[in-house]
Amino acid sequence: FRLISLSISGQQIATNNQLPVWIQGSRNHGLRYGQVVSFTGRCYALEEPLSPGGFDPRVFFHRSISAPARLVINPGDTLEISSDKNRGNRVVQVALSSRDWMEKALAHNVTAEQATYLHIVQAMTLGMREKSPADIEDLFRLSGTTHVFAVSGLHVGVVAAALLFLCSLLGVPRKKAVLIVIPLILFYAVITGLRPSAVRAAIMLSVVLAAFAIKEKPRVLNSLGLAGIVIVLYDTQQIFLPGFQLSFAVLFAIALLVRWLRDRFHEPFAIDEFLPRKFTPKWRLLTDSFTRKFAEGLSLSLAAWIGSAGLLLWHFQGISLIGIPANLIMVTLAAVIVWVAGVSILSFGVSATWLTTLSNQLNIWLASLLTSLAGFFSSFPGSYFQSGAMSDTRSKSPVEITVTGFGGESSSLLKLENDKYWLIDSGGSGTYRWQMLPLMRNQGINQLEGIILSHGDQAHIGMVPAAITQFRPKLLIKSPLPFKARVAPQIRALAAQKEITTLTASDGNILRPAKNVEWRTLYPPKDKEPAGSLADDQCLVGKLHYQSWRILFTFDSGFATEKSLLDSGVDLSADIWIRGQHSDSPSGLEEFVQAVNPQAILSSNGAYPAFEQLSENWISRIEDRGISLFDISASGSVRIDLNSKTATLTSYRHPTVPLILKK
């Protein structure tokens, strides 16, 4: 929203700020760009990251829209369209209407079964990434071809080339063609939702095209410099964005290196320039032409990789080593998809729907091929390398456990000596993508020793397939009880495909992943049915032993499991208790807390349902016992550093006040 007026305590205040808005419920479905609305709501400070390397809303929203806060409109608040008058920019309104029409054109006669690939085509051509599956985006990221998937300079360049080609077919002189193409590619940037990458590319191309129209052979670096000045004048925050830096670094490297690299690659296969062409066999001419084209593509891909490598390592602590050959093939295919999408849109506009259907079906097939190629290239061992943060903030403790999550989700990372890592649950999409994955990238993890799966809950194991694909664990440890989560079949299939050893653990099993480290499984019972029927009643319960330290993991176990463990007489005592909340019954029973008798508790705290929330009464009872409580939804990731004498618990959001436990 752009706020134009605030009413606080009856006082009217004029303002002009943009804020990101969270509208709870479904009332935002009827909102359209430019409408004037009146509402009540509450502003909150933008949050800090929840884990090292995690998404930082403060920086992102400040850089993108200069937002000082975020706005939340809850179900009890009002939200009404207060005027029929539309105050939006007319050009943007036309662009958004055009985008809706183009979306219909690309979806013409596409079946529901083909929706995944339709969303890929729409993301590549119209910038509509909100509908594209996250797991497919991961494949493009791991193969070093994210710029192929999302609207970027590549797509704007393809659109500009197509428009110039049409102008030449119609016999429009070059200088006049440029005057036609520049407004159209700027309008295309608006159609994509004014995405920064599209805006940058449109401005760059406009400057370069204008230079070619004015001068026969303009200097590319001069045009690049002028484009940079124009973009920074348009938005000074652009210079701080990784996308801006990557765009100019890549283009600078291309301008400097492509010609030299192309000559080096083509030289061994080139025909002697003094040999008359009439004495050269046709097959040799074809070979020369093919190797020249191949050398041009390879030099372009290599120059772009060289230009981006340093910044990718700096900003994202990772780089795709397979990106050079992947781009050589996939960039060409992506260009074809954009061209075919153009045919669909043009034919739909002239009511040649038979051609629209044909081209849409061709694009669905091309998008599926592109996705398969992304999966193929990302599947190579070592295809993606994570370097870790440039400033190494990792502890030097022999054993380290980092617990992340928000709401009812949770995930833990176990680091052992010699940099051996175990993942205990993955969390759902939010926890994994915004906390655990950035944490693993920050620490430079490229392979896992194993993954422990606590129970069949999407909020705990929903992203295990993504973790298996990228980090190729050697072992999967799970309960012998059946998993009912919808992701379970995919986990089994991936484990079989990648030949990952899968072990089941029940009461009495002991795993020794490193010297002085043991995982002892306490639940489920080996020869008895579990105490309850829900997924949360069928959790693994385990205790991690390191020298004299004991850390208990109960995950989302509730009343039935806790009672079963108490009745079994097993030793539950632990120094630190890492727990979740059962979705449908009480957990953290008084007798159970007494049996564990921890010095510190790390707990999830969900907003819904009520049982997944930490009650004020339970928190008070824990504090009365003198137990330190970490709510990981509020404190961010919590790191536990263990050595023989101390255990140090550090909240990422409050690192200056660690809790130190001593033996």
For the cut 70, the answer to whether the pLDDT of residue 622 exceeds it is yes
Rounded CA separation 452/458 (Å): 14
Nearest of 22, 23, 25, 31 to residue 57 by alpha carbon: 22
Specify the pLDDT at position 389.
79
Specify the pLDDT at position 347.
95
Assign 174 a pLDDT band (cuts: 50, 70, 90). Answer: confident
Rounded CA separation 423/161 (Å): 47
Assign 138 a pLDDT band (cuts: 50, 70, 90). Answer: confident
Specify the pLDDT at position 628.
94
Nearest of 502, 560, 552, 553 to residue 533 by alpha carbon: 560
- Supply the mean pLDDT for the chain: 88
For the cut 70, the answer to whether the pLDDT of residue 611 exceeds it is no
Nearest of 409, 403, 414 to residue 580 by alpha carbon: 409
523-538 confidence digits (pLDDT tens): 988 877 766 667 777 8
Q: What sign has the CA pseudo-torsion 70, 72, 78, 81?
A: positive
Rounded to 5 degrees, φ, ψ at 483 are -95, 130
538-552 confidence digits (pLDDT tens): 889 999 999 999 999
The token pair that represents 233 in the structure block: 């004048």
Specify the pLDDT at position 609.
63
Q: Match 């990106």 to its residue by tokens.
A: 323
Specify the pLDDT at position 184.
92
Amino acid at 200: R
Over residues 492-496, mean pLDDT: 92
Q: What is the crossing angle of helices 488-497 and 464-471, to 10°?
A: 20
Amino acid at 192: T
Specify the pLDDT at position 656.
82
Over residues 407-436, mean pLDDT: 90
The token pair that represents 507 in the structure block: 């009461």
| pLDDT: which is higher, 215 or 250 | 250
For the cut 80, the answer to whether the pLDDT of residue 279 exceeds it is no
Assign 648 a pLDDT band (cuts: 50, 70, 90). Answer: very high
Rounded CA separation 229/658 (Å): 46
For the cut 80, the answer to whether the pLDDT of residue 133 exceeds it is no
Q: Match 């400070």 to its residue by tokens.
A: 45
CA distances (Å), 595 to each of 69, 119, 154, 565, in order?
Answer: 44, 52, 61, 10
For the cut 70, the answer to whether the pLDDT of residue 335 exceeds it is yes
In three-state secondary structure terms, 263 is: helix
For the cut 80, the answer to whether the pLDDT of residue 371 exceeds it is yes
Specify the pLDDT at position 80.
87
261-278 confidence digits (pLDDT tens): 999 998 888 887 777 777
Question: For 544-631, where are the alpha helices, taking DSSP H only?
Answer: 559-568, 590-596, 616-624
Percent of the chain with pLDDT over 90: 40
H helix or E strand, kind and range, residue 476: strand 475-478
Specify the pLDDT at position 627.
94
Q: What is the crossing angle of helices 242-266 and 196-214, to 10°?
A: 50
Specify the pLDDT at position 374.
92
Are 84 and 327 within 8 A, CB to CB?
no
Assign 216 a pLDDT band (cuts: 50, 70, 90). Answer: low
Are 541 and 523 within 8 A, CB to CB?
yes
For the cut 70, the answer to whether the pLDDT of residue 8 exceeds it is yes
441-453 confidence digits (pLDDT tens): 988 899 999 999 9
For the cut 60, the answer to whether the pLDDT of residue 70 exceeds it is yes
Specify the pLDDT at position 532.
65
Assign 363 a pLDDT band (cuts: 50, 70, 90). Answer: very high
DSSP codes joined into one string, 595-653: HH--SEEEE-B-SSSGGGSPPHHHHHHHHHTT-EEEEHHHH--EEEEE-SSEEEEEESS
Specify the pLDDT at position 391.
61
Nearest of 134, 71, 23 to residue 466 by alpha carbon: 134
Rounded to 5 degrees, φ, ψ at 7 are -120, 115
For the cut 60, the answer to whether the pLDDT of residue 392 exceeds it is no
Specify the pLDDT at position 608.
65
For the cut 80, the answer to whether the pLDDT of residue 409 exceeds it is yes
For the cut 90, the answer to whether the pLDDT of residue 574 exceeds it is yes
Q: What sign has the CA pseudo-torsion 642, 646, 647, 650?
A: negative
Assign 336 a pLDDT band (cuts: 50, 70, 90). Answer: very high
Specify the pLDDT at position 531.
65
Over residues 165-194, mean pLDDT: 88
Rounded CA separation 429/67 (Å): 25
